[in-house]
Amino acid sequence: MIKRIHAKSILSPLTNKGFDPFGIAYNMNIYRGCQHQCIYCDSRSACYQIENFADILIKENAIDLLKQELSAKRKKQTIGTGSMNDPYMPIEEELGLTRQALELIYRYQFPVHIITKSNMVVRDIDLLRNISKIYAAVSFTITTNDDELSRKLEPGAPVSSERFEAMKVLSAAGIYTGIIISPVLPWITDSVENITELLHHAHQVGAKYALAWPGLTQRHGQREWFYDKLDKYFPGIKEKYIDMFGNTYECDSPNAEAINKAYYQICSKLRFATQMNFYKPVDPQMNLF
Ligand code: SF4
């Protein structure tokens, strides 16, 4: 079901002072719920209090709010989108709210980092080129090189090969792009072979960085949904998860050591950055010269 809601704010400051792999100061979520329906999605965890993750809530005043909030900020810091839902889920094609948000972000000269599983981001290549004069990064989450498997894991999202193709187009246009390999699912996508293929494929299409974490997180609400899908698509695997992880939040792959080793070796060989370059504010004094 698709519903419209009135939001109180659109940019949430990131309060976590710990390690931030994405260099984001504000999170922007125009939608709630996500049509991609990935079987492992953390955003459906009970702690986020989303009644039904299949419902898509559209923040109908998102663009007005963004305009107000951007115009009130004196410091230009990176706006991130894509952590709680995908800004390019199918409904975006019809509504174009992410595009309107990017127009404002450019008008107010803010840096942006987009995380997506959709090739729809290519639609906004003109805006991303413009924002790149400040800073724009597009990270594609791709968990498997196998399209059939990606259909099972991420049923509402374009398949992996379409994401690689989009990465190629953006990269060829000079937009800073990279791959996020996460989650890495124990007994499903946690082979060294899978990680190797993903890294080589991303490198071939022009990605500049690769971020990977060899495992997944699981919380109440998310876990039950995931286990249900494991039973449906990967019989026998749920029992291994229960035995190995119980109610653990951070679930490292039993193959984590080998994956990490391969990841760093391949990244070093391909000259792939294992961290992103973040936006660096320009010193106004430097502009005098
Ligand atoms: S794209 Fe991200 S937010 Fe959307 S369902 Fe998949 S994991 Fe969840």
- Tell me the sheet residues that pair with 251: 216
How open is the CA angle 274-195-168, to the nearest 5 degrees? 70
Instruction: Tell me the C-alpha distance between 43 and 36, whole Å.
Output: 11
> What's the gap in Å between 74 CA and the centre of ligand 1?
32
> What's the gap in Å between 117 CA and the centre of ligand 1?
8
- The yes-or-no verdict on residue 283 having pLDDT over 90 is no
**Per residue in 195-228, pLDDT tens?**
999 999 999 999 999 999 999 999 999 999 999 9
Q: What pLDDT score does 217 carry?
A: 96
- The yes-or-no verdict on residue 33 having pLDDT over 50 is yes
Q: What pLDDT score does 68 carry?
A: 98
> Percent of the chain scored above 90 by pLDDT?
89
Spatial neighbors of 127 by CB under 8 A, at least 6 apart, are 99, 102, 103, 106
* Amino acid identity for residue 56 in this structure: I
The answer to whether 58 touches 65, Cβ cutoff 8 Å, is no
Q: Give the model's confidence band at 52: pLDDT under 50 very low, under 70 low, under 90 confident, else very high.
A: confident
The answer to whether 122 touches 166, Cβ cutoff 8 Å, is yes
Residue of 52, 86, 162 with the most ligand 1 atoms within 8 Å of its CB, for mutation: 86
> What's the gap in Å between 276 CA and the centre of ligand 1?
21
Strand, coil or helix: 59: strand
> What's the gap in Å between 13 CA and the centre of ligand 1?
21
For ligand 1, say whether the CB of 216 is within 6 Å of any of its atoms.
Answer: no
- The yes-or-no verdict on residue 26 having pLDDT over 90 is yes
Strand, coil or helix: 144: coil
**Per residue in 137-156, pLDDT tens?**
999 999 999 999 999 999 99
Nearest CA to ligand 1 atom 2: 85
Task: Using the Cα atoms of residue 242, residue 244, residue 248 and residue 250 in order, give the sign of their dihedral.
Answer: negative
Q: What pLDDT score does 49 carry?
A: 85
Q: Provide the CATH topology of domain 2-277.
A: TIM Barrel (3.20.20)
Question: What is the domain partition of the chain in residue ranges?
Answer: 2-277
Nearest CA to ligand 1 atom 3: 85
Place of tokens 């174009």: 96
- The yes-or-no verdict on residue 289 having pLDDT over 50 is no
- The yes-or-no verdict on residue 51 having pLDDT over 90 is no
For ligand 1, say whether the CB of 34 is within 6 Å of any of its atoms.
Answer: yes
- Listed residue (65, 90, 78, 23) closest to 273, CA to CA: 23
For ligand 1, say whether the CB of 85 is within 6 Å of any of its atoms.
Answer: yes
- The yes-or-no verdict on residue 127 having pLDDT over 70 is yes
Q: What pLDDT score does 288 carry?
A: 52
For ligand 1, say whether the CB of 184 is within 6 Å of any of its atoms.
Answer: no
* Amino acid identity for residue 162 in this structure: E
For ligand 1, say whether the CB of 124 is within 6 Å of any of its atoms.
Answer: no
Q: What pLDDT score does 50 carry?
A: 82
> What's the gap in Å between 85 CA and the centre of ligand 1?
5
> What's the gap in Å between 141 CA and the centre of ligand 1?
10
- The yes-or-no verdict on residue 287 having pLDDT over 90 is no
Strand, coil or helix: 188: coil
Counting from 1 in the atom list of ligand 1, the atom nearest the Cα of 116 is 1
- Listed residue (148, 222, 209) closest to 183, CA to CA: 222
Q: What pLDDT score does 285 carry?
A: 59
Strand, coil or helix: 72: helix
> What's the gap in Å between 92 CA and the centre of ligand 1?
14
For ligand 1, say whether the CB of 36 is within 6 Å of any of its atoms.
Answer: yes
> Percent of the chain scored above 70 by pLDDT?
96
Structure-token pair, residue 65: 């709010």
Specify burial of residue 1 (Cβ count, 10 A radius: 0-12, 13-18, 19+): exposed
Q: What pLDDT score does 280 carry?
A: 86
Q: DSSP of 196-224, one letter per residue?
A: HHHHHHHHHTT--EEEE-SEEE--TTHHH
Spatial neighbors of 103 by CB under 8 A, at least 6 apart, are 127
Structure-token pair, residue 222: 């998310």
Q: What pLDDT score does 191 carry?
A: 98
The answer to whether 238 touches 230, Cβ cutoff 8 Å, is yes
Q: What is the DSSP letter of 179?
A: E
Instruction: Tell me the C-alpha distance between 200 and 207, whole Å.
Output: 10
Averaged pLDDT score across all residues of the chain: 95
Quick one: average pLDDT of 240-255? Answer: 97
**Per residue in 159-198, pLDDT tens?**
999 999 999 999 999 999 999 999 999 999 999 999 999 9
